[in-house]
Amino acid sequence: MTANLPYHRVNVLTGTKAARVIDEAGEYAHMIKRAGRPLLVVGAKALSMSLDGRPVIEYAADIARAGNIPVCATAHTRKKLVELGVEPASSYDLIEIINHLKDPQWPGVKKEGNHDLVIFIGIRSDLAEQGLSTLKHYARHLKTMTLCKYYYPHASYSLPNLKDGKWKEFLESLITNLKENAI
């Protein structure tokens, strides 16, 4: 197995705490279901990226529905999510949501308490890496997970670098596992 390097090589981890690489969709699904207050943050890249002609935002919507996960729409993703039948619990830009998540007293998007697991998909990779670094250092009360096809060393859990075919297979398997393991 080849070493996982971040997409932006300047983010090679210099500390001792790096993302746990997980490429098993069942394990991701189990962690999502175990979380008390997960949050799915959907970025604008989910609109422009596609896997075999299917926009990544459709996978994000399916994941939110299958896992009953509240969604934070960033950038201009809200309209498409609503079209796909997912009403976002909030709309913030990425910097705003990261600033809120840092505060352990923030009531969360549903006003039920801050989130314990934040899942990112479709965020521009350079911005995601810096946001994950911020959360790693200033939000020790939560775990972060990425669903993008690149390895992010500052996340708590990250996928390895994946080719599109393997990424599609992972996302479809995650959706299936979330549906099968519904609480």
At 68-86, the pLDDT tens digits run 999 999 989 999 999 999 9
Q: Is residue 45 part of a domain?
A: yes
Contact 35, 29 (CB under 8 A): no
Q: Is residue 5 part of a domain?
A: no
Check which CATH number belongs to the domain holding 76 and give it. 3.40.50.1220
At 100-140, the pLDDT tens digits run 999 999 999 999 999 999 999 999 998 999 999 999 999 99
User: DSSP of 83-116, one letter per residue?
Assistant: HTT---SEE--HHHHHHHHH-TT--TTTTS---S
**Residue 99 pLDDT > 90:** yes
pTM, entire model:
0.90
User: What pLDDT is recorded for position 19?
Assistant: 76
Q: Of the given ranges (6-15, 120-129, 140-149), which has the lowest mean pLDDT? A: 6-15
Q: pLDDT grade, residue 3 (50/70/90)?
A: low
**Residue 160 pLDDT > 60:** yes
**Residue 14 pLDDT > 70:** no
Q: Is residue 10 part of a domain?
A: no
Q: Is residue 134 part of a domain?
A: yes
User: What pLDDT is recorded for position 2?
Assistant: 44
The pair of three-digit structure tokens given for residue 22, joined into one six-digit string? 């997980």
At 15-62, the pLDDT tens digits run 556 677 887 999 999 999 999 999 999 999 999 999 999 999 999 999
User: What pLDDT is recorded for position 143?
Assistant: 97
Beginning with the edge strand found earlier in the chain, give each strand of the sheet holding 143-146 in spatial order. Answer: 20-21, 157-158, 143-146, 117-121, 38-42, 71-73, 90-91
Which domain does 101 fall in, by range? 17-180
Q: Is residue 9 part of a domain?
A: no
In total, how many domains does the chain have?
1
Q: What is the DSSP letter of 149?
A: S
C-alpha triplet 146, 152, 158: angle, nearest 5°: 45
Q: Is residue 6 part of a domain?
A: no
Q: Of the given ranges (18-22, 116-120, 154-158, 176-180), which has the lowest mean pLDDT? A: 18-22
User: What pLDDT is recorded for position 23?
Assistant: 79
Q: Is residue 142 part of a domain?
A: yes
Q: pLDDT grade, residue 10 (50/70/90)?
A: low
User: What pLDDT is recorded for position 1?
Assistant: 38
Tell me which H or E stretch contains 167. Answer: helix 164-180
Q: Is residue 95 part of a domain?
A: yes
